Amino acid sequence: MPVNITKLPNTLLFLIWSATPIVLIMLPANYFDEGQSLCLSVFLLNTECFACGLTRGTMHLIHFDFFTAYSFNKGSFVLFPLLVYLWLKVLYGLVRTFLKK
């Protein structure tokens, strides 16, 4: 059975896009809690910006650790539903393009 080259990039993108939440769920909730900050505000000005803690808060929301997520950044409760919506929208688009060809 020959491989359809035009479907290959969409298939690969679909697999990567589908695996992302699975990988994040498999990682421990505190995976991003330690280590050097990548925020330019912290690096250059030694002060936290409004987005500091969003990654850590979102990671704790994925694991249903609401209190810790709230302590890292309250904005993660707004960001997480938006990320889920965008993820589903892109996944739906990938499935539609995959099924059209």
CA–CA separation, 60 and 11 (whole Å) = 30
* Percent residues over pLDDT 90 in the chain: 42
pLDDT at 3 > cutoff 70? no
Mean pLDDT score across all residues of the chain: 85
pLDDT of residue 7: 59
Interacting residues of 21 by C-beta distance below 8 A, sequence separation 6+:
62, 87
Is residue 64 within 8 Å of 45, Cβ to Cβ?
no
Mean pLDDT of 29-33: 89
pLDDT of residue 74: 94
CA–CA separation, 92 and 17 (whole Å) = 11
Residue positions counted in the chain? 101
pLDDT of residue 76: 95
Is residue 61 within 8 Å of 26, Cβ to Cβ?
no
Q: What pTM was computed for the model?
A: 0.77
Mean pLDDT of 34-63: 87
Q: Which tokens hold the place of 100? A: 């059209």
